Homo-oligomer: A and B are copies of this chain.
Amino acid sequence: MDFNLTAEQKKLLDTAEAVARESLEPRASKYDAEATHPIESWHDVWKAGLLTTSIPREYGGLGLDMTTYVMMIERLAWGCTSTAMTVHMHSTAQRFIDFLGTHQQKTTFFSDVVEDGRLVASWGSEPGRRGGASPTQTILSPVDDGFVINGQKHFCTMAGGAFRYLVACAAQGFPGRTGTVMALVPRDNAGMKISGGWDTLGMRGTVSPAVTFENCLVKREWVIGEPGQAENCGIEKAFGLGYSAIYIGAAQRALDCAKDFVKKNRFDPDPGTMAENSLIQRHIAEMALALESARLLTYQSASRWNEVEETGFRTILEGRAKSRATEAALFVTSRAIQVCGGRVAHKRYPLERIFRDVRTCTLMPPNVDRALESVGKAELELEL
């Protein structure tokens, strides 16, 4: 475990911090109110060079190690949870392309991002299936000169906003979990229709409606890897690490808001500012420590990412980070509101939005129960 960052890493994190504060934060409440794609913020993230962090250097990306990556996502989330979440999904889609794609495919798909700042979404959820389970209802079937997809996906983040969608399909004719295969479908595909709304508690800027596929044509070169290769390949566990970073970045923002509020406000007839109240100091301490310990656990998990390139090991890393980051972020965002009091329920303060975002995005798979199950089994040396 080594968090001694190089000058280059530090500079990148400073950049992320500046983009979050100057570009993402000022637009976050608008995307929330309108439930629209954070297009301008994506653009700024790309301009700052942070859209290619998980693309290898040989393809023009930054090829960040997982620890620095996680720290970068955390910083973006401080400014706008929805932007950080979509950038993280895009970045994880790049990892799949890197793992599964041919040299030719990588050249094509990566250059879209590097040259043009085009985002790639990643769609996995299905109606009636537990989040995180492998796909069974979105079927990829061979046709003359390629494939078609039929079925439905839920929680299709960036639908209509990203340039391409990485769709997890079940290859026709493969039994059980042996046929999971990934297809990269471009936005303007006629066989793909948004079939549900996105009016939710939080994470409203992630715009994640249901999408229906009807004989959606897929060219041969859009399919990356062979059926089964994407199943439990270990890459998918990067999702949870990034989620954890997002919870922590958002919760840090909530804590900072609360600290700022109690330092600046004084209410008659209480003497002094709220910050001078010993109970408020205690609340702040409890929040800061809950957050910091979840952060350290998340960094620790990220720093061990390459120790074993295997789903089982990474399930534990993800489980450790996600269960504690979830708990800490829920605690901090709720307590921050409580400490400040009724005034911050107004939408002119950011706290209520962050509170909604955190309660929403902590629901993404694996949920706390499953995350703890993985950790417990690993501790007891039982099979996952």
A interface residues (Cβ-Cβ under 8 A, vs B): 1-4, 125, 128-131, 133, 136, 155, 199-203, 259, 262-263, 266-270, 275-276, 278-286, 288-289, 292-294, 296-297, 300, 319-320, 323-324, 330, 334, 337-338, 341-342, 345-348, 352, 355-356, 359-360, 362-364, 367-369, 372-377, 379-382
**Protomer copies:** 4
**Contact residues in B for A281 (Cβ distance below 8 Å):** 372-373, 376-377, 379-380, 382
Instruction: Decide if A373 touches B4 in the complex (CB within 8 Å).
Output: no
In-complex Cβ contact of A360 among B263, B268, B345, B364 (8 A): B345
Which of B199, B263, B342 makes the CB contact (< 8 A) with A131? B342
Min Cβ gap A260→B in Å is: 10
Q: In the bound complex, do residue A323 and residue B279 qualify as a contact, i.e. CB atoms below 8 Å apart?
A: no
Q: Which of B300, B337, B348, B363 contacts A359 (CB 8 A)?
A: B337
User: Can you pick out 10 interface pairs between chain A and chain B where the beta carbons lie within 8 Å of each other?
Assistant: A199-B348, A275-B382, A281-B373, A283-B376, A288-B379, A293-B294, A293-B297, A338-B362, A345-B360, A355-B359
Listed from nearest, the 7 A-B pairs whose CB atoms lie closest are A281-B376, A285-B376, A293-B293, A201-B352, A285-B375, A296-B296, A130-B267
Distance in Å: Cβ of A265 to nearest Cβ of chain B: 9
Residue on B nearest A268 in the bound complex, by CB: B129
Tell me if A368 and B297 are in contact (CB < 8 A): no
Residues on B with C-beta less than 8 A from A362 are: 338
Please state if A284 and B380 are interface contacts (CB–CB under 8 Å): yes
Measured CB to CB, the nearest residue on chain B to A201 is B352
State in angstroms the CA–CA spacing of A346 and B198 once bound together: 7
In the bound complex, how far is the Cα of B282 from the Cα of A323, in angstroms? 11
The residues of B that contact A381 with a CB separation of less than 8 Å are 263
Residues of B within 8 Å of A284, CB to CB, are 376, 379-380
Q: How far is the CA of A379 from the CA of B260 in the complex (A)?
A: 11
Given known contacts A133-B268, A275-B382, is B376 in contact with A363 (CB within 8 Å)?
no
Complex partner residue of A375 from B133, B199, B289, CB under 8 angstroms: B289
Q: How far is the CA of A342 from the CA of B200 in the complex (A)?
A: 10
Give bound CA distance, A278 to B130, whole Å: 16
List residues of chain B with CB within 8 A of the CB of A348. Answer: 199
Given known contacts A342-B155, A373-B285, is B367 in contact with A259 (CB within 8 Å)?
Answer: no
- CB A326 to nearest CB in B, in angstroms, measures 9
Task: Give which listed residue, B2, B203, B282, contacts A372 with CB less than 8 A.
Answer: B282
Is B131 a contact partner of A369 (Cβ separation < 8 A)? no
Inside 8 A of A337's CB, which chain B residues have their CB?
Answer: 201, 359, 363
CB-nearest residue of chain B to A126: B268
Give Cα A4–Cα B303 distance, bound, in whole angstroms: 12
Inter-chain contact A199/B338, CB cutoff 8 Å: no
- Whether A268 pairs with B136 at a CB distance below 8 angstroms is yes
- Of the candidates B2, B3, B267, the one whose C-beta lies within 8 Å of that of A128 is B267
Q: Identify A334's interface contact among B278, B359, B374, B382, CB under 8 A.
A: B359
CB distance from A152 to the nearest CB of B (A): 14
Q: Is the CB of A201 within 8 A of B355?
A: yes
